[in-house]
């Protein structure tokens, strides 16, 4: 079937097998390999993307669900295309050493951006609860939690400017 | 021109930009022209004779290119997967070492044992064809637990391994220990289980192989912690590929923790298959497939006895352990519960006599090998648990008993009775630091507050020492290592003065690209941004043993330091010529070569330029170019140590244990980048907390089925399980590594399980609880509380 959607700001139309998972479509067809697959039970959260602004696990989403929707992946979160400018949440992860091996990082950042977007002044408990669907094996979460809190503050400070 | 960023600074990591923007290069991200997909057919039975494999239907399925099985491996005359360590029993009899075929030959010995490999145009086609493969199994009874495996009448995995015992290993002076026990005023006894774990790096294992007939070269991309070792083991010992015809690339790897430091059969099968089908072949494991094929960790059953005099001084320590090896010997398998366990049973204490007996046992489970800490968390857990048991039984405060037995700082270097000699340390300093940092003096107030909420609060201590920086080759060779354990580094100074380092360790989260650049920046005065670190490719890096055993900074960093020193030595020769001075008078400081006592200087860039444009250059005595290489073999292990304090709250209504505070004070020697060290400690601690409270790999006895076969069944620590931890360092410098570093990758995982369980036992001690096995799940604690048949309310 043919689907049309907005991918990281660009209108995209393609033919897909309706049984294709979005994670697979991104990685195998669109070469957007920043979306990672870390499990087969929708537990790890390495594949989180934004579908119409909401964080979703792309390993459990079928391609037809994209039709007419807006999809943002980790590659689309950056600043201006081709630049090295980072989103405030990405910058906060770098500043707070919120990543080690980098495998869970795209999912963590996408979840964190969605978590922080609508809620200024996130508490530590809210951040920890909000990250319940994302597993990291390297960091012990401490610096991820600090990153998300700092990133949330930076996002809202930027909005206020 | 950027800045010099040296040792002790905390620059943000060089590697972060690509990971944060989704531009990492993991094996599963790689695509090759004409690539095919491979799928492994794995045994669904724990123990079965393979009577035959009918490939007809699978071969006829759409898109199928090849179906390979054990018969094809045998027909091609390929080797079996080698074990890197050969241990022996007390009489010097070598361990039983049955072959570990890359595809099962005649028998499958665990659920997940590889039986066949299907190559097809797409992964879907390979999966569909795999389901059509007709394997005729004769199912045999499985044995999965070590106690069951050594019982008379137990299912036997191998015809020539009686009672499934691979090796009956021992260490220490048995007679001296027996004498000491006869004189003891008190003997503490403890039986415990060290639970089986699955390492769970977030990136599942994956591999791609390709063969180029024009050059007769094979390339393997693999999620490996040690590509050069894979090249050697697989090329020389399994597939008979000459080393110069085999390239192994381990690009960005999404976590390892030991799981990716072995040579896996999948790597050999894929490389062999790519040559047979003359197309690139890719395999990516699912998480569930990883659960039945990634090497597992721990899995000990232990009985320990500690003899004390009337003042609580430790007289002797005796430990008997049954250690699970799984169905075959993995790369480091037999080394872990022996050489990395027994020699650490002294801990930070002056125990004069120690004896350790380990029966290494085969079972119908995934092979067991190193997982973060590897042997040392098990040793620490036994020792630190029994110290608490002894303290309770003798009525001595737990901290006081530890303090009475600790090795004083001035007693280093300290020779233990179990082979190793600690070069440096300050256990009492770490303990004192941790007591303050954890605010132990106000624990009573916090306990009372918990009690008012109906919760039981407990405090647990653990001290530890580990042997890391693996490893002094000569020493390791005496213990049974079949290879060397040195490291190498090349420092390539470009004509413009920028630097590329080629190093044989592997970065999969540890921040090497940053830490190693700091070392070079510090020593050469080159801007941090002008230094790149290359690793993970046998065509680009000269040689190396990879990353495990907290060795990268200790051994690799030392090689890098040596190579950098050689660059300075050569630079001085070039500068002496250009400045028309004696080499002896040239000083190098802050990136400048100068003649002592004068203002005549040459910058590092000028020297690099002269080395590559040698018009004015001592060509008669010196080669052009500025590139130096060093190999470094350590003279001893390093011995990080420390004190961890855990504080938990137990809800008696549900049995839920909540970790509420965690404090670690660790001696890791010189700290190059404190931000990265803290990150390593956080991650390590939480992996140990996972073992103590959540994680457990469970097999069904009889069928050999893995019951905890996915992330739905195996509980990983999550963000909302944890408090903010307090970590600090209290460092003494290693006396034998060039920079005084000791390593920090494993310390957290070594110290934390005992600290957490000691806290849980402390919380429940008023109910007469003296031991809790890991993981301390709500179910286990709730049952314990019911059996204690005491009122559930705290007050």
Query: Where are chain A's structural domains?
Result: 2-76, 88-160
Put simply, whether A150 touches B (Cβ < 8 Å) is no
Instruction: Give me the residue spans of the domains in chain B.
Output: 31-140+202-255+260-291, 296-470+636-786, 486-632
Residue B762 near residue B459, CB atoms below 8 Å: yes
Q: Specify the pLDDT at position A13.
A: 98
What parts of chain B have a pLDDT lower than 70? 1, 789-795
Cβ separation of B720 and A140 shorter than 8 Å?
A: no
Comparing B31-140+202-255+260-291 with B486-632, is the CATH topology the same? no
Note which residues in 130-149 of chain A have CB less than 8 A from chain B. Answer: 131-132, 134-145
Among chain A residues, CA nearest to B725? A142
Could you read off the pLDDT of B487-520 as tens digits, one per residue?
Answer: 999 999 999 999 999 999 999 999 999 999 999 9
* Omega prior to B471 cis, within 30 of 0: yes
Burial class (CB in 10 A: 0-12, 13-18, 19+), B277: middle
- Residue indicated by tokens 């809190």: A149
**Chain B residues closer than 8 Å to A39 by CB:** 204, 286-287, 710-711
**Chain B residues closer than 8 Å to A29 by CB:** none
Angle between helices B427-437 and B398-405 (to 10 degrees): 160
Q: What are phi and psi of B116, to 5 degrees?
A: -155, 165
Pick among B20, B200, B715 to test the A interface (most A CBs inside 10 A) = B20
Cβ separation of B684 and A140 shorter than 8 Å?
A: yes
Residue B36 near residue B279, CB atoms below 8 Å: yes
Burial class (CB in 10 A: 0-12, 13-18, 19+), B348: buried
Report the gap between the CA of A155 and the closest CA in chain B (Å): 16
Q: What is the mean pLDDT of residues A42-54?
A: 97
Report the gap between the CA of A93 and the closest CA in chain B (Å): 8
Among A44, A124, A140, the residue with its CB nearest the CB of B202 is: A44
Cβ separation of A101 and B724 shorter than 8 Å?
A: no
Task: Let me know how many helices (H) and strands (E) chain A has, helices first.
Answer: 5, 5
**Chain B residues closer than 8 Å to A103 by CB:** 24, 26, 201-203, 254-255
**Chain B residues closer than 8 Å to A132 by CB:** 718-720
- Checking DSSP bridges between strand B353-362 and strand B217-222, what pairing results, if any? unpaired
**Chain A residues closer than 8 Å to B752 by CB:** none
Among B20, B510, B712, the residue with its CB nearest the CB of A43 is: B712
A62-66, Cβ contacts within 8 angstroms, sequence gap of 24 or more: A62/A18, A62/A19, A62/A20, A62/A21, A62/A22, A63/A3, A63/A16, A63/A17, A63/A18, A63/A20, A63/A21, A63/A22, A63/A25, A64/A1, A64/A3, A64/A16, A64/A18, A65/A22, A66/A3, A66/A5, A66/A22, A66/A25
The upper half-sphere exposure of residue B744, i.e. CA atoms within 13 Å in the direction of its Cβ, equals: 31
**Chain A residues closer than 8 Å to B710 by CB:** 39-41, 43
Pick among A100, A112, A149 to test the B interface (most B CBs inside 10 A) = A100
Report the gap between the CA of B225 and the closest CA in chain A (Å): 12
**Chain B residues closer than 8 Å to A50 by CB:** none
Residue B660 near residue B649, CB atoms below 8 Å: yes
Cβ separation of B686 and A141 shorter than 8 Å?
A: yes
Class of B296-470+636-786 in CATH: alpha beta
Q: Which residue in B258, B253, B248 sits closest to B333, CA to CA?
A: B258
Residue B326 near residue B366, CB atoms below 8 Å: yes
Which distant-in-sequence residues (6+ apart) come within 8 Å of B91 by Cβ? none
Instruction: Provide DSSP, A88-122.
Output: HHHHHHHHTT--SSSSSHHHHHHHHHHHHHT-SS-
Q: What's the rounded Cα separation, in Å, for the pair B200 and B227?
A: 20
Q: What's the rounded Cα separation, in Å, for the pair B401 and B309?
A: 12
Could you read off the pLDDT of B404-455 as tens digits, one per residue?
Answer: 999 999 999 999 999 999 999 999 999 999 999 999 999 999 999 999 999 9
Bridge partners for B60 per DSSP: none
- Residue indicated by tokens 């008979």: B240
**Chain B residues closer than 8 Å to A73 by CB:** 22
Widest Cα–Cα separation across chain A: 45
Note which residues in 4-23 of chain A have CB less than 8 A from chain B. Answer: none
Cβ separation of B203 and A129 shorter than 8 Å?
A: no
Cβ separation of B676 and A109 shorter than 8 Å?
A: no
Report the gap between the CA of B689 and the closest CA in chain A (Å): 10
Which distant-in-sequence residues (6+ apart) come within 8 Å of A80 by Cβ? none
Among chain B residues, CA nearest to A131? B719
Put simply, whether A46 touches B (Cβ < 8 Å) is yes
Q: What's the rounded Cα separation, in Å, for the pair B507 and B492?
A: 19
Token code pair at residue B706: 């893995």
Cβ separation of A40 and B16 shorter than 8 Å?
A: no
Cβ separation of A128 and B719 shorter than 8 Å?
A: yes
Q: What's the rounded Cα separation, in Å, for the pair B556 and B558?
A: 5
Report the gap between the CA of A82 and the closest CA in chain B (Å): 11
Put simply, whether A71 touches B (Cβ < 8 Å) is no
| Domain A88-160: assigned CATH number | 1.10.150.120
Q: Specify the pLDDT at position B585.
A: 97
Put simply, whether A155 touches B (Cβ < 8 Å) is no
Cβ separation of B719 and A134 shorter than 8 Å?
A: yes
**Chain B residues closer than 8 Å to A99 by CB:** 16, 19-20
Q: What's the rounded Cα separation, in Å, for the pair B102 and B192?
A: 35
CB pairs under 8 A between A and B: 179
Q: Specify the pLDDT at position B790.
A: 56
Put simply, whether A103 touches B (Cβ < 8 Å) is yes
Cβ separation of B20 and A131 shorter than 8 Å?
A: no
- Residue A56: pLDDT band by 50, 70, 90 thresholds? very high
Q: What's the rounded Cα separation, in Å, for the pair B262 and B30?
A: 22
Q: Which residue in B295, B341, B267, B289 sits closest to B199, CA to CA?
A: B295
Q: What's the rounded Cα separation, in Å, for the pair B489 and B562?
A: 8
Report the gap between the CA of B340 and the closest CA in chain A (Å): 23
At the fourth CATH level, the homologous superfamily of domain A2-76 is: Beta-grasp domain (3.10.20.30)
- Checking DSSP bridges between strand B627-632 and strand B48-54, what pairing results, if any? unpaired
Cβ separation of A142 and B682 shorter than 8 Å?
A: yes
pTM of the entire predicted model: 0.97
Please tell me whether residue B582 adopts helix, strand or coil conformation. coil
Put simply, whether A52 touches B (Cβ < 8 Å) is no
The secondary structure of residue B400, as a DSSP letter, is H
**Chain B residues closer than 8 Å to A137 by CB:** 200-202, 255, 257, 683, 687, 716
The upper half-sphere exposure of residue A80, i.e. CA atoms within 13 Å in the direction of its Cβ, equals: 1
Put simply, whether A108 touches B (Cβ < 8 Å) is no
**Chain B residues closer than 8 Å to A75 by CB:** 21-23
Cβ separation of A103 and B255 shorter than 8 Å?
A: yes
Class of B486-632 in CATH: alpha beta
Helix (H) or strand (E) holding B515: helix B512-524
Cβ separation of B719 and A39 shorter than 8 Å?
A: no
Cβ separation of A142 and B724 shorter than 8 Å?
A: yes
**Chain A residues closer than 8 Å to B24 by CB:** 34, 102-103
Could you read off the pLDDT of A73-107 as tens digits, one per residue?
Answer: 999 997 545 556 899 999 999 999 999 999 999 99
Residues constituting chain A: 161
Among chain B residues, CA nearest to A45? B202
Q: Which residue in B535, B393, B546 sits closest to B471, CA to CA?
A: B546
Q: Which residue in B785, B784, B787 sits closest to B454, CA to CA?
A: B785
Report the gap between the CA of B723 and the closest CA in chain A (Å): 8
Residue B575 near residue B602, CB atoms below 8 Å: yes
Alpha helices in B601-655 (DSSP H): 604-612
Q: Specify the pLDDT at position B517.
A: 98
Token code pair at residue B13: 């990591």
Note which residues in 75-94 of chain A have CB less than 8 A from chain B. Answer: 75, 77-78, 84, 86, 90, 93-94
Q: Specify the pLDDT at position A160.
A: 67
**Domain made up of B31-140+202-255+260-291: CATH architecture:** Alpha-Beta Complex (3.90)
Can you say how many angstroms the Cα of residue B251 is from the centroid of all Cα atoms in its chain? 19
């Amino acid at each position: 079937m043919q689907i049309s959607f907005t991918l990281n700001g660009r209108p995209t139309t393609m033919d897909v097998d309706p049984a294709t998972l979005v994670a697979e479509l991104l990685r195998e067809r669109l070469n957007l390999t920043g979306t990672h697959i870390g499990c087969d039970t929708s537990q790890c959260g390495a594949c989180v993307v934004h579908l119409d602004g909401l964080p979703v696990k792309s390993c459990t989403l079928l391609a037809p669900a994209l039709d007419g929707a807006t999809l943002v992946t980790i590659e689309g979160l950056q600043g201006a295309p081709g630049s090295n400018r980072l989103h405030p949440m990405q910058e906060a992860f770098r500043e707070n050493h919120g990543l080690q091996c980098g495998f869970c990082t795209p999912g963590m950042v996408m979840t964190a951006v969605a978590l922080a977007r609508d809620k200024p002044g996130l508490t530590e408990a809210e951040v920890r609860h909000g990250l319940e669907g994302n597993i990291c094996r390297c960091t012990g979460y401490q610096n991820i939690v600090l990153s998300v809190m700092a990133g949330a503050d930076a996002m809202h400070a930027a909005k206020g400017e | 021109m950027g800045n010099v960023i040296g040792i002790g600074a905390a620059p943000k990591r060089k590697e972060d930009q690509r990971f944060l923007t989704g531009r990492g290069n993991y094996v599963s991200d790689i695509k090759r022209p004409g690539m095919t997909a491979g799928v492994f057919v794995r045994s669904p039975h724990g123990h079965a004779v393979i009577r035959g494999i009918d490939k007809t239907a699978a071969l006829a399925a759409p898109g199928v290119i090849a179906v390979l099985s054990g018969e094809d491996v045998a027909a091609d005359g390929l080797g079996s997967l080698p074990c890197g360590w050969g241990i022996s029993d007390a009489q010097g009899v070598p361990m039983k070492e049955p072959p570990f075929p890359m595809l099962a030959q005649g028998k499958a010995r665990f659920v997940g044992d590889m039986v066949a490999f299907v190559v097809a145009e797409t992964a879907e086609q390979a999966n569909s064809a795999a389901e059509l493969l007709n394997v005729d199994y004769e199912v045999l009874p499985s044995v999965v637990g070590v106690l069951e495996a050594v019982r008379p009448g137990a299912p036997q995995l191998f015809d020539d391994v009686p009672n499934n015992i691979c090796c009956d290993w021992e260490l220490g002076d048995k007679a001296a220990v027996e004498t000491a026990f006869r004189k003891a005023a008190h003997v503490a006894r403890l039986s415990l289980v060290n639970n089986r774990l699955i390492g769970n790096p977030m990136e599942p294992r994956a591999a791609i192989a390709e063969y180029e007939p024009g050059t007769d070269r094979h390339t393997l991309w693999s999620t490996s912690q040690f590509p050069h070792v894979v090249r050697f083991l697989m090329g020389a010992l399994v597939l008979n590929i000459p080393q110069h015809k085999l390239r192994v690339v381990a690009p960005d790897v999404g976590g390892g923790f030991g799981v990716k430091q072995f040579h896996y059969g999948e790597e050999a099968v894929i490389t062999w298959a790519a040559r047979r089908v003359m197309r690139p072949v890719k395999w990516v494991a699912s998480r569930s497939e990883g659960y039945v094929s990634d090497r597992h960790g721990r899995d000990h059953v232990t009985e320990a006895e500690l003899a004390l005099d009337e003042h609580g001084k430790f007289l002797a320590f005796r430990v008997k352990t049954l250690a699970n090896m799984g169905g075959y010997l993995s790369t480091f398998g037999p080394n872990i519960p022996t050489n990395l366990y027994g020699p650490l049973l002294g801990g930070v204490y002056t125990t004069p006599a120690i004896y350790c007996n380990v029966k290494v046992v085969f079972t119908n489970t995934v092979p067991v090998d190193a997982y973060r800490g590897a042997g040392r968390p098990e040793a620490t857990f036994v020792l630190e648990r029994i110290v608490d048991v002894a303290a309770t039984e003798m009525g001595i405060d737990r901290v006081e008993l530890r303090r009475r037995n600790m090795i004083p700082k001035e007693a280093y270097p300290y020779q233990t009775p179990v082979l190793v000699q600690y070069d440096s340390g300050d256990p009492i300093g770490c303990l004192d630091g941790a007591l303050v940092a954890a605010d132990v003096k106000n624990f009573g107030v916090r306990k009372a507050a918990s009690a008012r909420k109906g919760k039981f609060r407990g405090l647990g201590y653990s001290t530890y020492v580990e042997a890391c920086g693996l490893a002094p080759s000569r020493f390791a060779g005496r213990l049974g290592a079949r290879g060397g354990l040195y490291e190498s580094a090349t420092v390539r100074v470009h004509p413009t003065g920028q630097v590329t380092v080629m190093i044989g360790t592997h970065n999969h989260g540890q921040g090497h690209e940053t830490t190693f650049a700091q070392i070079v920046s510090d020593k050469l005065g080159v801007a941090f941004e002008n230094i790149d670190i290359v690793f993970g490719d046998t065509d680009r890096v000269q040689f190396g043993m990879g990353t495990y055993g907290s060795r990268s900074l200790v051994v690799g960093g030392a090689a890098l330091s040596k190579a950098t020193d050689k660059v300075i030595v050569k630079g001085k020769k070039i500068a002496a010529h250009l400045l028309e001075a004696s080499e002896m008078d040239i000083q190098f400081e802050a990136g400048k070569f100068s003649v002592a006592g004068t203002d005549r200087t040459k910058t590092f860039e000028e020297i690099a330029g002269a080395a590559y444009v040698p018009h004015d250059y001592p060509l008669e005595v010196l080669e052009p170019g500025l590139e130096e290489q060093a190999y470094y073999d350590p003279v001893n292990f390093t011995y990080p140590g420390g004190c961890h304090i855990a504080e938990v709250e137990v809800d008696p209504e549900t049995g839920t244990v909540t970790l509420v505070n965690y404090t670690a004070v660790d001696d890791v020697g010189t700290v190059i980048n404190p931000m990265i060290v803290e990150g390593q400690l956080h991650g390590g601690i939480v992996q140990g907390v996972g073992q103590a409270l959540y994680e457990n790999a469970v097999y069904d006895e009889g069928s050999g089925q893995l019951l905890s076969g996915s992330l739905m069944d195996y509980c990983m620590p999550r963000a909302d399980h944890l408090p903010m931890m307090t970590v600090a360092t209290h460092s003494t410098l290693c006396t034998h590594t060039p920079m005084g570093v000791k390593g920090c990758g494993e310390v957290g995982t070594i110290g934390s399980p005992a600290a957490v369980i000691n806290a849980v036992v402390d919380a429940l001690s008023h109910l007469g609880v003296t031991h809790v096995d890991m993981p301390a799940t709500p179910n286990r604690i709730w049952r314990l509380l019911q059996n204690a048949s005491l009122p559930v309310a705290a007050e």
